[in-house]
Structure 1
Amino acid sequence: MIELRTLAEIEQMRAAGRFVASVLEATAAASIVGKNLIALDKLAHDMIRKAGAESCYIDYHPSFGASPFGKVLCTSVNDAALHGLPHDYTLRDGDLVSLDFAASVNGWVADSAISFVVGTAAPEDTALIDTTSRALDAGIAAATVGNRVGDISAAIGAVAHADGYSVNVDFGGHGVGRTMHGDPHIPNDGRPGRGLPLRAGLVFAIEPWLMIGTDRIFTDPDGWTLRSEDGSRAAHAEHTVAITENGPIVLTARR
């Protein structure tokens, strides 16, 4: 079901957005050579506990997950594109890391992701992250009253294709509110002028993710982590966005 939020409710959602942004800032800053993924998850868990927030991941068990996720932070490294399950891995120089985090504060959810390289960055990784970030910006810019979901999808896809990347549409953006995943689904490629009309009060996560050499993925033996089929690296960028008559508001904007 698609729900419209009042301006007052959108204001209430800002606390969740600020908290999610702060956790991503802290975990990204802590992602240095020698840091273990389990330690990053613990840092996020400690911040949740201190803030009195609730994790959207730890008990999450959709049809595509082998079991409840069991952690509070998605840590996808190198060829891991999405849903990276934190495990005993120590970050190395040159690792491409994507962190994805969602939490509920006072009953409202926000969801966001960021990608970066630990230590020395290869040019192709920098280019991938830049394209993914610009695709997110293009999608947000298209999230205006009078447009349609297809306009967001087309804007994301146009940036990706212009830089030579193919796009997987199996996973994409989604409604956000009292729960983490709701309608509408927002593919990362599509045709403009198609799909749900965008109205003030819609709140959703926009989340392009791209891989260097393919648009195909497979599920890791851990039952959660989605990896590129050819082993090439991946990047992921995401913000929770509210549509208003005065334009989109990025609720998870980082400093």
Structure 2
Amino acid sequence: MPVVLSLNIAQKTKPVDYAREGATGIDKRPVDGPLEISAPGPWGSSGGGVSGDAIADQAHHGGDYQAVYAYAREDLDWWQTELGVDLRNGQFGENLTTEGIDQTHALVGERWRVGTALLEITAARIPCRTFAGFLGRRGWVKRFTQVARPGAYLRVLEAGRVAPGDEITVVHRPDHDVTVELFFRAMLTAPELLPRLLDAGDSVPPYVVAHVRERMAAGTQR
């Protein structure tokens, strides 16, 4: 049975020299919960997402299409072996550490009932220098990209309360083949896949749709 193994938040941002804003909320720690999850509104909006979770760079993180970030414990365990270090729940900056659900091959537009909230997968996590700086690993963005176990961003279709141990029920799987992994590779390593992202319809963030259409138009002009 898929479950929320851990619910993680950053209760305040921390000043660091490796983040664009000079501070970061990536250092998320497990909490008992339950916590309210709600739709934040567009990028730059205050509030929403997982209640109590601090976000420093609101220009690039948060917002409706990145309201919640989930990462699988199974993938953390894989990285533990690969890196030879212990990785706690929340180590990758995820709000939900899950167990028993394959996020890499989940579909964009797939809907999960988690606690009393209804969440929908919208995108794959794109690694950045803050992620690399937090882990303290040179070449981390390249390595994370090559492995392609990105975890999933979700938007909130119905606000609700979520706690550790809550079951994750997949209540809808859309009729296309745009997986989280395909999304990730299209954005980072295989631009020829970009047009396929449009098959996921309005589950795809508008900024991604704009990027895809721009690249398609440029390709037509060449």
Q: TM-score, normalized by length of structure 1?
A: 0.29
Return the TM-score normalized by structure 2: 0.32
